[in-house]
Structure 1
Amino acid sequence: MEFQVYDFAIVPIIVALVQLAKQIGLSAKYQPVFSLVLGIATGIFYVAPGDPKQAILVGIVMGLAASGLWSGAKNTLQK
């Protein structure tokens, strides 16, 4: 399977879903874990459904990127 760059457009969607979960009541302690789970699930079911190794690797990268994007944006906007 070829890896497509547009698959990383999913990262902001993961950030949005984590934000939604936070508003519903997800503890700040579990937000990075939730981001990672969403990334891996997306990798397995969308990015590379036929290649588990690639799916998990790409999913981890997307989850960590979403977690870092959220953390960076939060730290930038905080006074």
Structure 2
Amino acid sequence: MEIYDVVLIPLIIGMVQLLKLYGMPKRLLPIVALVFGVVGGIIYVYPHDIKAGTLVGLMMGLSASGLYSGGKAVVKSEV
């Protein structure tokens, strides 16, 4: 995994936000972030190694959902 592959995390956050705007239930958003992460990991980061792609994808999806919820908590506490 190269450093520029980490760019997928903000992309996942953006796609999840779009789904949220279109009315997807909030309880499903972390699962969607994981799915986007795994798909991105398998297709883009490690297309020839499904195990490594899945592991990296889980990491990206968890980072995207954690980054969103962590940032949301910080914003709510400051306001």
- Shorter-chain TM-score range: over 0.9
Bigger drift between 46-55 and 3-12 goes to 3-12
Residue 6 in 1 paired to residue 24 in 2?
Answer: no
Q: Letter of the aligned partner of 1:30 in structure 2?
A: L
Instruction: Provide the C-alpha distance between the structure 1 equivalents of 2:10 and 2:66, rounded to a whole number of angstroms.
Output: 11
Matched residue, 1:42? 40
Which runs of 5 or more residues in structure 2 are unaligned?
Answer: none
Please give the root-mean-square deviation of Cα atoms over the aligned residues, in Å. 0.7
Matched residue, 2:24? 26
Deviation of residue 18 (structure 1)?
0.4
Using the aligned pairs only, state the percent identity.
Answer: 43
Matches within 5 A, 1:57-72: 57-72=55-70
- How many residues get paired? 77
Deviation of residue 73 (structure 1)?
1.0
Which runs of 5 or more residues in structure 1 are unaligned?
Answer: none
Give the ranges of 4+ consecutive aligned residues of structure 1 lying more than 6 Å apart after TM superposition.
Answer: none
Q: Letter of the aligned partner of 1:56 in structure 2?
A: T
